[in-house]
Amino acid sequence: MHYLIPHFILTRLMGILADSKNQYIKKFLINSFIKIYRPKLEESLIADINDYATYNSFFTRKLCKEARPIESSYLSVVSPVDGTIVDHGLIERNMLIQAKKHNYSLHELLGEKVNKERNTPGYFITIYLAPTDYHRIHCPYEGYISSTSHIGESLFSVNEKAQVNISDLYIKNERAVMNIKNSVLSYSLVSVGASIVGSIVPFWFDKDTAVRNDFVREWRKGPEEGERQVLKGQELAYFKMGSTVIIVFEDSDKLDLHSLTTNKSVKFGSQLINLKKV
């Protein structure tokens, strides 16, 4: 059934409606969302739904700074998003695990050649964003953006059923990859698109009107040199609708794996995993 659904057509149609400034369409979509999902509007920077120009501007709303304090400890890698940890584990033989049953390639996920397996394996954490979650993506740990890219072709759903039933889901779907490094830690932040997700918008792109190809081009180009140094908690991108983020750490030996909790809900800015004390 996943293959029979016209994901691109549905995504395009939803994108048109979500960006519509028609007051009746906007209010219907926003009020329907609130009735179904009951978001905490008091956390939003703009609490009055009448102040949003479109449904998309409401869905991608920013939060008050006080709503998500950033864990400041030097040892803490923070969650880049609100969501639920659905998978995590060691990257052995350059393979990751999806839904506890499907193996998929690190090389194909990142869209680049992966160095010969290190003596110490890498580590990955997959976080699923439900429609109710905050949909902006932030920096888990400060560093320098060494490269960005946009790869993949499909837009399957990434819900629990899709994770179980579609092998190689994360390497089939469109995704934006950001590689970040500093003297302590190197990691990749992979934002995976999905059905109904209009685009993944990078932080350095600030035009009010744009089409999907504009975002793809920007991800492949990357930010200007002066914008490549990023801080913990800094906004890096946002999803138009919901999806998944995968963090790939190059060296698991630098991580305190006991500090990670399985299948837990996480909030942006809170501790996701700790670094080992040197």
Is the confidence at residue 115, as pLDDT, over 60?
Answer: no
Task: Indicate whether 115 belongs to any domain.
Answer: yes
Say whether both 133 and 243 belong to one domain: yes
What is the reported pLDDT for 174? 84
Task: Indicate whether 23 belongs to any domain.
Answer: yes
Percent of the chain with pLDDT over 70: 80
Boundary-marking domain end, from 19, 39, 59: 59
Task: Indicate whether 64 belongs to any domain.
Answer: no
Say whether both 49 and 108 belong to one domain: no
Say whether both 29 and 110 belong to one domain: no
Say whether both 101 and 171 belong to one domain: yes
Say whether both 103 and 190 belong to one domain: yes
Looking at per-residue confidence, does 206 or 136 come out higher?
136
Q: Of 82, 88, 135, 188, which one is the catalytic site residue?
A: 82
The pTM (predicted TM-score) of the whole model is 0.86
Residue 163's pLDDT band (cuts 50, 70, 90): low
Say whether both 84 and 13 belong to one domain: no
Percent of the chain with pLDDT over 90: 47
Say whether both 17 and 128 belong to one domain: no
Is the confidence at residue 166, as pLDDT, over 70?
Answer: no
Q: Tokens 């009735």: give the residue.
A: 35
Q: Name the domain count of the chain.
A: 2
| Half-sphere exposure in the Cβ direction for 145 (13 Å, CA) | 29
Task: Indicate whether 65 belongs to any domain.
Answer: no
Say whether both 113 and 35 belong to one domain: no
Dist CA 252 CA 49 (whole Å): 43
Dist CA 238 CA 41 (whole Å): 18
Task: Indicate whether 228 belongs to any domain.
Answer: yes
Say whether both 30 and 164 belong to one domain: no
Q: Of 88, 102, 138, 150, which one is the catalytic site residue?
A: 138
33-89: pLDDT as tens digits: 899 988 888 999 998 989 999 988 898 899 998 999 999 999 999 999 999 998 899
Is the confidence at residue 17, as pLDDT, over 50?
Answer: yes
Say whether both 15 and 146 belong to one domain: no
Residue 3's pLDDT band (cuts 50, 70, 90): very low
Boundary-marking domain end, from 35, 59, 83: 59
Indicate if 82 belongs to the active site. Answer: yes
Task: Indicate whether 165 belongs to any domain.
Answer: yes
Say whether both 51 and 76 belong to one domain: no
- Domain span holding position 203: 70-275
Indicate if 147 belongs to the active site. Answer: no
Task: Indicate whether 1 belongs to any domain.
Answer: no
Say whether both 225 and 256 belong to one domain: yes
Task: Indicate whether 2 belongs to any domain.
Answer: no
The CA-atom distances, in angstroms, between 213 and each of 132, 221, 241 are: 27, 12, 17
What is the reported pLDDT for 78? 96
